Amino acid sequence: MSSGVIDLRSDTVTRPTEQMLAAMAAAETGDDVYGEDPTVNALEERVAALLGHEAGLFTMTGSLANVLGIRGWVAPGHELLCESRAHVVRAELGAHAAMHGVTTRTWSHSRGHVDLEAIGRMMAPDAGPYLVSTAAVAVENTHNFAGGTIQPLDQLEGLRSVVDGTGIRLHLDGARIWNAQAATGTPARGYASLFDSVSVCLSKGLGAPVGSVLVGPADMIAEARVWRKRLGGGWRQAGLLAAAGLHALDHHIDRLTEDHANAQVIAELIADADDAVVDRASVETNIVLLMVGERAERLVSEARDAGVLTGVVGPGVVRLITHLDVTAADARKAGEILADLIRRPS
């Protein structure tokens, strides 16, 4: 970054590249509420095809894509199961409950993984007049607050067989599905096709300024389009933003491995300073969690003074995220600065 500050707070902080801005400026646009923006339509079709689904809907945020996806499956008063640190229950400000009457129960897994045994115990597809009926299960891949961890594909396949025939639907919060693809070589569609609906972000590691896409069956997406407008989310010449998304899909997926390598460098430098602070084996993609206990707030503030921005994401947990605007040199420098701070006696 030109200011010299290295911003590791999130992969949402990226600025559009020159080439992305040129693609945006050249975008053909129309009124998307009338379904007439050719660039939005192209993006929706492209993402649906990439993920092996029938249709797509471009939304301003990943939260909105999750809200519309989960609303499609969970009627008011019914329940969604998810992991206890999932974005849908921790970071969407209760939207699913506040707007759509969705109740939740959670399982906990140290790496944020699907827990088939717990889900099998909790799920009650048709619980009758006393207990809440389960309508859907949401899974996050990669799992943000668990540290960018990747869901094991065989567990997801297991989940598909557990719910098949029960009427319970599966929603994938694939905000960082591209990171899972880059890290494992499993195509995003290999994960996405196991789910009834999937949300993906263009504005995280892919570096678009704004935007997510929800994909699923055509009838469900048609209804989500109505609800998007109902919630005030109909947008007009959104093709300017869709063009950024298309550019990101063309140019910024393969390079995610650089972000992963940079996260490894940071984790290694910090583990050399104190290997109790970072579990290197858990750094699978572009997120590094530091377990620093009561020092968390102080570490964030000392790092900020030294030109590295980070954030506290849970009790004693500091999160670092690498992205398009963090070079290999930045990563090394940030890792050295943080390692020095961690070496200091507390």
Ligand X SMILES: *Cc1c(COP(=O)(O)O)cnc(C)c1O
* Residue nearer to ligand X on the CB measure, 138 or 337: 138
* Total of residues contacting ligand X (CB under 6 A): 12
User: CA angle at residue 66 from 64 to 70, to 5 degrees?
Assistant: 120
Closer CB to ligand X, 39 or 59, in the complex:
59
Does 140 help bind ligand X (rule: CB under 6 A)? yes
Candidate ranges 21-29, 58-66, 233-241, 316-324; the one touching ligand X (CB under 6 A): 58-66
Say whether residue 63 binds ligand X (CB under 6 A).
yes
With beta carbons less than 8 A apart as the criterion, state whether 72 and 223 touch: yes
Least Å distance between CB 338 and ligand X?
A: 22
* Minimum distance, C-beta of residue 51 to ligand X, in the bound complex (Å): 16
Nearer to ligand X, 133 or 149 (CB): 149
Please name the residues in contact with 115: beta carbons below 8 A apart, sequence gap of 6 or more: 83, 107, 108, 109
Q: How far is the CB of 153 from ligand X (least distance, A)?
A: 18
- Least distance (Å) from ligand X to the CB of residue 201? 6
Label each residue of 144-178 as H, E or C. Answer: CCCCCECCCHHHHHHHHHHHCCCCCEEEEEECCHH
Task: Kindly state the greatest CA–CA separation across the chain.
Answer: 62
Contact 136, 154 (CB under 8 A): no
Backbone phi, psi, residue 216, to 5°: 175, -165
Residue sitting closest to ligand X (CB): 62
**Bridge partners, 308 (sequence order):** 6
Point out which span in 17-25, 28-36, 55-63, 74-82 binds ligand X (CB under 6 A). 55-63
| Closer by beta carbon to ligand X, 50 or else 145 | 145
* Whole-number Cα distances in Å, 213 to 57, 172, 226: 5, 12, 15
Query: What is d(CA 141, CA 182) in angstroms, rounded to the nearest whole number?
Result: 12
Shortest Cβ distance from residue 133 to ligand X (Å)? 25
- Within 68-107, the residues that bind ligand X by CB under 6 A are 87
Residue 130 and residue 139 in contact, taking contact as beta carbons nearer than 8 Å: no
- Residues 161-220, interacting with ligand X (CB under 6 A): 173, 175, 201, 204, 212
* Residue from 133, 144, 262, 310 binding ligand X (CB under 6 A): 144
Nearer to ligand X, 175 or 331 (CB): 175
Residue 61 binds to ligand X (criterion: CB under 6 A): yes
Nearer to ligand X, 11 or 196 (CB): 11
Type of residue found at 240? L
Stretch that binds ligand X, among 46-54, 59-67, 247-255, 271-279 (CB under 6 A): 59-67
285 contacts ligand X (rule: CB under 6 A): no
Distances (CA, A) of 36 to 202, 212, 239, 241, 271: 21, 19, 10, 15, 52
Residues contributing to the site for ligand X (CB under 6 A): 61-63, 66, 87, 140, 144, 173, 175, 201, 204, 212
